[in-house]
Chains A and B, each alone.
Chain A
Amino acid sequence: MHVKILGSGCANCVNLEKATRQAVEELGLDATFEKVTDYADIAAYGIMRTPGLVVDEKVVLSGRVPTAGQVRDLLAAR
Chain B
Amino acid sequence: MTTQVSPHRAATRRWVLLGAATLGWVAAYALNEVTWTWLYGTVLGLDITTGWPSMLHFFSYDTVKITLLLTGIIFIVTVLRSFMSIERTRALLGGRREGVGNVLAASLGVVTPFCSCSAVPAFIGFVSAGVPLGVTMSFLIASPLVNEVAIALLLGLFGIGPTLLYVCAGLVIAIVAGMVIGRLRLEGQVEPFVYETRLRGQVVDSTAGLSWDDRLAMGREEVASILRRIWPYLLVGIGLGAVIHGWAPADFFARYAGPDNPFAVLVAVAIGVPLYSNAAGILPLVDALYAKGMPMGTLLAFMMATVALSLPEMILLRRVLKPRLIATFAGVTAVGIVAVGYLFNAIL
Contacts and interface: CB of A to CB of B under 8 A. Distances in A.
Contact of A40 (B85, B86, B126, B197): B197
B121 A61 contact: no
B201 interface: yes
A12 B193 CA distance: 25
A25 B320 CA distance: 37
B199 A44 contact: yes
A7 to B, nearest CB: 8
B120 interface: yes
Given A43-B124, A44-B198, A63-B85, A10 B117 contact: yes
Given A39-B319, A39-B320, A44 B197 contact: yes
A62 B198 contact: no
B65 interface: no
Given A49-B86, A63-B85, A44 B120 contact: no
Interface in B210-234: 218, 221
A44 B121 contact: no
Nearest to A50: B118
Interface stretch (A16-24, A27-35, A52-60): A52-60
Contacts of B197: 40, 43-44
Nearest to B206: A63
Q: Which of A10, A39, A44, A61 has the most CB of B within 10 A?
A: A39
Contact of A46 (B125, B193, B207, B218): B125
B113 A39 contact: no
A61 B128 contact: no
Q: Which of B85, B204, B207 has the most C-beta atoms of chain A within 10 angstroms of its own C-beta?
A: B204
Contact of B121 (A47, A57, A64): A47
A60 B99 CA distance: 36
Contacts, number: 77
Given A48-B90, A49-B206, A63 B124 contact: no
Given A40-B124, A40-B197, A64-B218, A48 B204 contact: no
A39 B319 CA distance: 8
B200 interface: yes
Interface in B157-206: 193-194, 197-204, 206
Nearest to A40: B193
Contact of A61 (B204, B218, B319): B204
Q: Which of A8, A40, A48 counts the most chain B CB atoms within 10 A? A: A48
Contacts of B133: none
A69 to B, nearest CB: 10
B337 to A, nearest CB: 27
B118 A49 contact: yes
A49 B121 contact: yes
Contacts of A12: 117
B83 to A, nearest CB: 14
A64 B206 contact: yes
A10 B118 CA distance: 10
B198 to A, nearest CB: 7
A37 to B, nearest CB: 11
B124 A39 contact: yes
A62 B113 CA distance: 12
A52 B125 CA distance: 14
15 contacts: A8-B120, A12-B117, A42-B121, A43-B121, A43-B124, A43-B125, A43-B194, A46-B202, A46-B203, A48-B125, A49-B114, A49-B118, A57-B201, A63-B206, A65-B221
Interface of A: 8, 10, 12, 39-40, 42-50, 57-65
Given A43-B194, A47-B121, 11 more contacts: A39-B319, A43-B120, A43-B199, A45-B199, A45-B200, A49-B113, A49-B114, A49-B206, A50-B121, A62-B206, A64-B218
